[in-house]
Every structure is written in C-alpha cells, then in structure tokens.
Amino acid sequence: MKPETVAVVIESPDNQHTSSIGNDSVSILTKEINSELIMIYGVIKENVFEVMFAFPIPQNLKELNPLKALELFATEFGLKFQIGHKKGKFMYHDAFWSDSDQIKIIDSESSDKSFTSFFVKIEPHGSKSRIEVHTAFALNINKYESWLAKQMSTMIIQPGTVTFWIDPEKNPKAFSEGINYHWVTFGLGTEQCTIASEGTNLVATMNAGTDRELIIFSVIPPVDQNVKHMVAVTFDSTTLCLYFDAELLHSLNITDFI
C-alpha cells in the first residue's frame, strides 16, 4: 500500500478505536478511499503511530466499529491459536489463570504466511500463570492474498465499450501538432480512464490529475483530417482494446495497471 494512502488514513480516519496498553496505545483505523475500505492497525508510542499492518478489507465491515471489524476480519482470515488453555482466532481484553503459559499457532500449514499480533502479559505464580490478553490474533496471509487477488480480478464487474467520433467539423485540426482534445472519461472498476489527443498522439491516462496518474498507452492513429473516424475502447476483467475505424489499433493487459 502506498505510503501516502496510509498517511491519509492516519490523518483523517472515518472510524477509530484506541485503547491503552501500559504507557502506549493500540489503535485501529478504517477509512474508505476510492470505494476501497482500508484498515490500519498499529501502536501509538510517545505520539508516534507505528503501523503494524495496512490492508484493504471487505466492504461489509464498513459500518462497524473498527474493533468489531478487526474481530470479524481476523475470524474470516485468521489462523487458530492457543494462549494458555484458551483457543480462538481473536481475543481482546481477557484475563484468566492457566496451567500453561504457551502461545502458539495450532492450525497453520508449514507453507502458510502469517501476520501475528499478541499483546499478552504473563505472570507465573507457582504451577499456574496469570494471563492478561490485550489483543491477540493471527492472520493467514495466504488466504487473505487469495481473497485480495479475487477482488482485483473482479474489479471490473461488467465488460464495457466506450465509443466516440473524431469529426473534422466539430473537432477542427484534431491530431495536429500543438492541438489537444479531451475525448472521453470512463470508469474501470474503481479507477478512471481518460482518453485525450495530445498533438498527433491518442493517449489514455488512468486517474488523470491525481497523485495516481498513469499513462497506459500513447499511440498515433492513422487520422485523415478530411473524414470522420470512429474510436472504440472495449474492456473486460483482463484486456483493454483500442479500435480505430473498427480495426484493432492497440491492446493491453488491464491487470498491468489496475
């Protein structure tokens, strides 16, 4: 995740849950940015926010208190663990006596990547231990990344086609040096794509005018300035194609830029 996105969430979260742990605090932040729900989890030490993770999370957690959202997120994508004699995927503000002071993941495969956060205080008392859990969870990163990849692959929900005409009467001197035209802007999932001509080039730009601006193609179409031309852009979940007078002019893989 881009550092500037993390900074925006920390500076102006939509929702925040903070609780003390000794002299520090554990904070959970959520914010929707460009139709994507972001959760940041971290520790505040001496007024400095130390980010432990920053993840896009399911949209159905949007209206929840961040603590509840984290609990459901950890339950959905978590690994089962054991603290003392207690087992679960999420623990918060729990205290108990146990014959064991062991902390371990109990359902992870050797190939599983994980992120763990165990804020736990253990005080031995003879044969037993007093265990205080502030927050504890373990995320199965393999499972989460599979979900995230699926979200990205289905970001463009429906295939689409956008068309426009280059008309010498309405667009005089289009595709001449020094002459620029904006032709169309349309949505690709949560992103915006703008088609414009800059001199002799037809240029497609993602998120024009933002800090995420990215040119995805720049081609020179065979324009005859004495006749009308039809331009069509088709897209689905994998490919974007540019047609000029019904002939394929350019194509590219959407997953390269979304």
Residue at which a domain ends, from 120, 153, 186: 153
Q: In the sheet that 81-83 helps form, which strands lie side by side, from edge to edge?
A: 86-88, 81-83, 103-105
Residues 226, 180: one domain?
yes
Residues 86, 116: one domain?
yes
Inter-residue contact 61 to 31 (CB < 8 Å) = no
The pLDDT, as a whole number, for residue 117 is: 95
Domain with 190 in it? 160-256
Residues 39, 70: one domain?
yes
Structure tokens, 211: 């800090």
Q: Is the dihedral of CA 24, 26, 31, 36 positive or negative?
A: positive
Residues 56, 143: one domain?
yes
**Count of Cβ atoms closer than 10 Å to residue 226 Cβ:** 6
Angle between helices 66-77 and 141-153 (to 10 degrees): 100
Residues 147, 184: one domain?
no
Closest to 180 measured CA to CA, from 203, 206, 162: 203
Residues 31, 129: one domain?
yes
| Residue count of the chain | 258
Inter-residue contact 48 to 65 (CB < 8 Å) = no
Q: For each successive 10 residues of the chain (258 residues), what is the average pLDDT? A: 89 96 94 91 94 94 96 96 96 96 85 89 95 96 88 65 96 95 90 94 94 93 95 90 96 80
Q: What CATH number has the domain bearing residue 174?
A: 2.60.120.200
Residues 165, 140: one domain?
no
Residues 98, 194: one domain?
no
Residue at which a domain ends, from 129, 153, 177: 153
How do 103-105 and 114-125 pair as beta strands? Answer: unpaired
Residues 44, 128: one domain?
yes
Residues 121, 83: one domain?
yes
Computed on alpha carbons and rounded to an integer, the radius of gyration of the chain in Å comes to: 26
The pLDDT, as a whole number, for residue 236 is: 85
Inter-residue contact 57 to 68 (CB < 8 Å) = no
Residues 105, 56: one domain?
yes
Number of domains in the chain: 2
Inter-residue contact 108 to 114 (CB < 8 Å) = yes
**Count of Cβ atoms closer than 10 Å to residue 171 Cβ:** 17
Please give the Cα distance from 216 to 205 (Å, whole number): 6
Residues 44, 171: one domain?
no
N-term to C-term CA, the chain? 13
Residue at which a domain ends, from 132, 153, 174: 153
